[in-house]
Amino acid sequence: MTSIKRIGVLTSGGDAPGMNAAIRAVVRTAIYHHIEVTGIYRGYEGLIENDLFVMDSRSVSSILTQGGTILKSARCPEFRTKEGRATAYKNLKDANIDALVTIGGDGTFTGAEVFSDEYDIPVMCIPGTIDNDLFGTDYTIGYDTANNTVIEAIDKIRDTAASHSRLFFVEVMGRDSGCIALNAGVAAGAEAILMPEKDTAIDELIQMLEEGMDKNKSSMIVIVAEGEKNGGAYHVAKRVKEKFDFFDTKVSILGHLQRGGSPSSFDRILATRMGYHAVKELLKGNSKSTIGFKGNQIVTTPLHVALHSDVFKLDEELLEISKVMSI
Ligand code: ADP
């Protein structure tokens, strides 16, 4: 057991649905174990600017169902500097914070690693990002909700696409990861899926669409992850249209609606389990680790392993399945 008396909690980087559920779990688990909690607004920026407040179990009432993060999030270039981190540490000490739980993506984790290496402050990191692209966990908080949001949107687009025999290009989030594109594509029955991890030549795509047309498909939907190498949905649509000028081609960029909304049941439970374990691990004396979920178990991975391992391997079999399903 450790002598931790007060834990600081922050959310940083891109927001994700379920971050609030994780904050709630951290606060209530800590208070249950007679540990005090300080909320830090706007991630590392709030730490540097001393934007802190003492939390109690009522501070997190009614947030389980809310998307976004009540602690707000920010990107903070100053935390990348020694001076910025020195100010952050002084503010932590002044507020009697002995340990930190950070909720965010790999940037947030890198910041936590650098900070705890420099100042020997115990940190525990919870993966919160819709991209599902972090090492040490099968799922990140927010991914399931975002995936469901994308599927719901594609289902609606399919209704109009089928009514007008249209070819739709739907752009989804994923700068480096095609996880949402692939899984939402399978779940919504897309005709083709373009992802950052896989180069798909426009000619190859055109051939797939021609085969679909030969089979009298009344509508076709192509999912394009934003980081795919042909330059995004507008660009791909333009090039395909040069070939299919007789087909009514439309583009839909789903954008930030993918980040919002009430977290799914899966994300609420995942976030609650992760928040609970983050505090328990700190109390056991564990530090500099990420919390993960693998094989229905909560696991921890040292930060230096999580941040320096290959992250997302494309699920080749699922991609193959998507092709079989689109005949
Ligand atoms: P995410 O956590 O979603 O990946 P970012 O990459 O924007 O988001 O990282 C969030 C914040 O983490 C950054 O704004 C910065 O304050 C901090 N951070 C990222 N990388 C470092 C680093 N190498 N050193 C210190 N802080 C970092």
Length of the chain: 327
Is the minimum distance from the CB of 175 to ligand 1 under 6 angstroms? no
Cβ–Cβ under 8 Å, residues 153 and 254: yes
Res 313: pLDDT: 73
Cβ–Cβ under 8 Å, residues 126 and 102: yes
Res 235: pLDDT: 93
The ligand 1 atom at the shortest distance from the C-alpha of residue 78 is 16
Reference 248, options 171, 164, 162, 157; nearest CA is 164
**Segment 318-323 long-range contacts (CB within 8 Å, at least 24 positions apart):** 318/182, 318/183, 318/186, 319/182, 319/193, 319/198, 321/186, 322/182, 322/185, 322/186, 322/190, 322/193
The ligand 1 atom at the shortest distance from the C-alpha of residue 74 is 14
Q: Give Cβ neighbours of residue 162 (< 8 Å, ≥ 6 apart).
A: 218, 219
Cβ–Cβ under 8 Å, residues 277 and 291: yes
Whether 131 is catalytic is yes
Distance 76 CA to ligand 1 centre (A): 7
CB-neighbour burial class of residue 271 (10 A; exposed 0-12, middle 13-18, buried 19+) = buried
| CA atoms within a 13 Å half-sphere pointing along the CA-CB vector of 35 | 26
Ligand 1, residues 42, 79, 115: which to mutate, most atoms within 8 A of Cβ?
79
Q: List the 289-294 sheet strands across, edge first.
A: 52-55, 36-40, 6-11, 99-104, 123-127, 289-294, 297-302
What span, in angstroms and rounded, lies between the C-alpha atoms of 62 and 259? 20
Is the minimum distance from the CB of 41 to ligand 1 under 6 angstroms? no
The ligand 1 atom at the shortest distance from the C-alpha of residue 129 is 3
How many other C-beta atoms can be found within 10 angstroms of the C-beta atom of residue 267?
A: 29
Domains and CATH numbers, the chain: 6-142+263-308 (3.40.50.450), 145-259 (3.40.50.460)
Res 172: pLDDT: 97
Q: List the 166-172 sheet strands across, edge first.
A: 192-194, 220-225, 166-172, 248-253
Is the minimum distance from the CB of 177 to ligand 1 under 6 angstroms? no
Res 1: pLDDT: 61
Q: Whose CA is nearest to atom 12 of ligand 1?
A: 108
H or E element in which residue 83 lies: helix 82-94
Res 242: pLDDT: 87
Instruction: Copy the structure tokens of residue 206.
Output: 């055109």
Q: Give Cβ neighbours of residue 296 (< 8 Å, ≥ 6 apart).
A: none
* pLDDT one digit per residue (tens) for the chain, 327 residues: 678 999 999 999 999 999 999 999 999 999 999 999 999 999 999 999 999 999 999 999 999 999 999 999 999 999 999 999 999 999 999 999 999 999 999 999 999 999 999 998 999 999 999 999 999 999 999 999 999 999 999 999 999 888 887 899 999 999 989 999 999 999 999 999 999 999 888 888 988 888 887 888 878 999 999 999 989 999 999 999 888 777 788 999 999 999 999 999 999 999 999 999 999 999 999 999 999 999 999 999 999 999 998 876 788 999 999 999 988
Instruction: Copy the structure tokens of residue 104.
Output: 């965010």
Per the annotation, does 27 bind a ligand? Answer: yes
**Segment 60-65 long-range contacts (CB within 8 Å, at least 24 positions apart):** 60/20, 60/23, 60/24, 60/27, 60/28, 63/20, 63/21, 63/23, 63/24, 64/20, 64/21, 64/24, 64/268, 64/272, 65/262, 65/263, 65/268
How many other C-beta atoms can be found within 10 angstroms of the C-beta atom of residue 246?
A: 8
Residue type, 46: G
Per the annotation, does 203 bind a ligand? Answer: no
Is the minimum distance from the CB of 107 to ligand 1 under 6 angstroms? yes
Distance 87 CA to ligand 1 centre (A): 17
Is the minimum distance from the CB of 108 to ligand 1 under 6 angstroms? yes
Which of 51, 98, 131, 144 is an active site residue?
131
The ligand 1 atom at the shortest distance from the C-alpha of residue 109 is 2
Q: Which residues pair with 171 in a beta bridge?
A: 224, 253
3-state secondary structure 121-148: CCEEEEEECCCCCCCCCCCCECHHHHHH
Instruction: Copy the structure tokens of residue 219.
Output: 């509508």
Per the annotation, does 166 bind a ligand? Answer: yes
Q: Whose CA is nearest to atom 5 of ligand 1?
A: 107
